[in-house]
Amino acid sequence: MSGDHDGLRLRRTQSVTRAEEIQAEELKVRRSQPDKPCHKPRDSLFSWTSGFDNFTGFINWAFLLLFMGGVRLLLENFIKYGIRVDPIQWVYVLTGQDESGAEHPSLILLIYSLVPVVLCLLTEKGLSVDIIPNGPGMLAHVVNLLVLVMIPIVAIHLKDGFSLIGASVVSCLYCVLFLKLWSYIQVNMWCRMQQKHAKANNSFRRQSLSYSNLPMSESRNSLNEDDHEPHLVQYPDNLNLKDLFYFMLAPTLCYELNFPKTSRIRKRFLIKRIIEVVIGIQLIMAVIQQYMVPSIKNSLLPFSNMDITKASERLLKLAIPNHLAWLCFFYITFHSFMNLMGELLHFADRNFYCDWWNANNIDTFWRTWNMPVHRWAVRHIYLPVVGMGYGRLTASVFVFFISAFFHEYMVSVPLKTFKIWAFMGMMGQIPLSLISRYMEKNFGPKMGNVVVWASIIMGQPLCIMMYYHDYVITHYGQALLEDYSHV
């Protein structure tokens, strides 16, 4: 059978070779004709079988059109609204200070955030030396975290001096503190449980005796080899203000007793990050003042009247500056600022984001665009829920639920408008994930990536328009809408 198969393959090879020879002879004869032929069998350039893949000129053309369109929008905005950028107002916006300079409510809350941090440390110290029993200690932690979440809600709702961005900064900071303290409490609980388990098995005593029973000279000789190795902090030696405040400032949400450290601070790298943060913040504020605020205000009436055509036009007009501000915010936060803090603190883990822009489905996007939050969610929510016997889908839904709560918290609290649009938007990522996976599976990875980008570009301005409408109705009533209708 193998001989027949080899013979068949040989005959096919010979037939193909013969066909190529015939074509070559025909081509030679054709070229020798007196009509000087110039045609040969060829596919159109845009055909899939042509093998052509160099579209550099089209890419340059697209970027040129985008640039020209951006310049036109820039000129149109300046002609219509003038120069709206006012750096003086940025101070009032960020601090919550009124023009008389009498109060700084945002700064007061930022300073007060030290109180729950210190209370958490004191509780952990009490738990480590058994002054506080485990049950009451964990209850104290829960109460402390709940009060931490409630403080911005009560203060911003009752106090009138907060600016929108100042209140947003406070809300974001308190959310970060909540996640950090959650991690700090849980990691120390793991260490405490392991220590108690070791004591119960008498292993802790045997390890301590292994060095104390050696002669002094022997113990010194055995330790000489480790003199140059880094000293690892053990529980409960980590329970001090220096360690806790290092974690509070470190660009991570997951606590460890021994973080990886760099050996030096790169001054040139640090200066670049500082310049990026300073210039980037100015750019974001300028885009918000010059482009986003007018577009948001102009979207109020069409959105209230449910004029689909005009509302869609306003949505598309708002989408471009909002997306630009979001991209700048991402770069400034996850690259510039976090690298700046990491460099100052010698923090070696700089994996703050992955290539989320290449994500082919929503799941991949959420796993790659914000690595500190993703790492915290997997470590402190997903794996513990799976460890309790629940399925992976249940754990994923629980993670999205926690994320949806904090997204709603960071929007509703500063606006003093308690709606559920951000919450529903985050929970809506679950069915959107199924859609993106369907598009990726049936139409290719590129279409899945298009769904991801479309959700980012269009979802955020739609959410902004909805919250602005509800904010105006809640705080100013229908009268403002009637005033807008006469403009």
In this predicted structure, the answer to whether residue 56 has a pLDDT above a threshold of 80 is no
pLDDT digits (tens, 9 = 90+) for 185-198: 999 999 888 887 77
| Mean pLDDT (whole number) for 75-89 | 68
Q: Which residue has the higher pLDDT, 96 or 239?
A: 239
| Confidence band of 20 (pLDDT split at 50, 70, 90) | low
- Percentage of the chain beyond pLDDT 70 is 75
| Confidence band of 372 (pLDDT split at 50, 70, 90) | very high
Averaged pLDDT of the chain = 78
Check if 475 is active-site: no
In this predicted structure, the answer to whether residue 10 has a pLDDT above a threshold of 60 is no
Query: What 3 state SS string does the chain have?
Result: CHHHHHHHHHHHHHHHHHHHHHHHHHHHHHHCCCCCCCCCCCCCCCCHHHCCCCCHHHHHHHHHHHHHHHHHHHHHHHHHHCCCCCHHHHHHHHHCCCCCCCCCHHHHHHHHCHHHHHHHHHHHHHHHCCCCCHHHHHHHHHHHHHHHHHHHHHHHHHCCCCCHHHHHHHHHHHHHHHHHHHHHHHHHHHHHHHHHHHHHCCHHHHHHHHHHCCCHHHHHHHHHCCCCCCCCCCCCCCCCHHHHHHHHHCCCCCCCCCCCECCCCCHHHHHHHHHHHHHHHHHHHHHHHHHHHHHHHHCHHHHHCCCHHHHHHHHHHHHHHHHHHHHHHHHHHHHHHHHHHHHHCCECCCCCCCCHHHCCCHHHHHHHCCHHHHHHHHHHHHHHHHHCCCCHHHHHHHHHHHHHHHHHHHHHHHHCCCCCHHHHHHHCHHHHHHHHHHHHHHHCHHHHHHHHHHHHHHHHHHHHHHHHHHHHHHHHCHHHHHHHHCC
pLDDT for residue 249 = 93
Which of 17-31, 282-296, 358-372, 445-459 bottoms out in mean pLDDT, i.e. has the lowest?
A: 17-31
Q: Which residue has the higher pLDDT, 471 or 352?
A: 352
Beta bridge partners of 261: 347
Q: Which residue has the higher pLDDT, 6 or 301?
A: 301
Rank 191-205, 306-320, 399-413 by mean pLDDT and report only the highest.
399-413
pLDDT for residue 481 = 54
Per the confidence metrics, is the pTM higher than 0.85? no
Domain spans, the chain:
104-202+233-249, 263-487
Out of 141, 374, 380, 407, the active site residue is 407
pLDDT for residue 312 = 80
Which of 237-241, 301-305, 371-375 bottoms out in mean pLDDT, i.e. has the lowest?
A: 301-305
Which of 49-53, 273-277, 475-479 bottoms out in mean pLDDT, i.e. has the lowest?
A: 475-479
pLDDT for residue 216 = 40
| Mean pLDDT (whole number) for 199-212 | 53
In this predicted structure, the answer to whether residue 211 has a pLDDT above a threshold of 50 is no
pLDDT for residue 46 = 64
pLDDT digits (tens, 9 = 90+) for 218-273: 433 443 444 445 678 888 888 999 999 999 999 999 999 999 998 898 999 999 99
| Mean pLDDT (whole number) for 463-485 | 65
In this predicted structure, the answer to whether residue 15 has a pLDDT above a threshold of 70 is no
Q: Which residue has the higher pLDDT, 156 or 375?
A: 375
Q: What amino acid is encoded at 318 in this protein?
A: L
pLDDT for residue 169 = 84
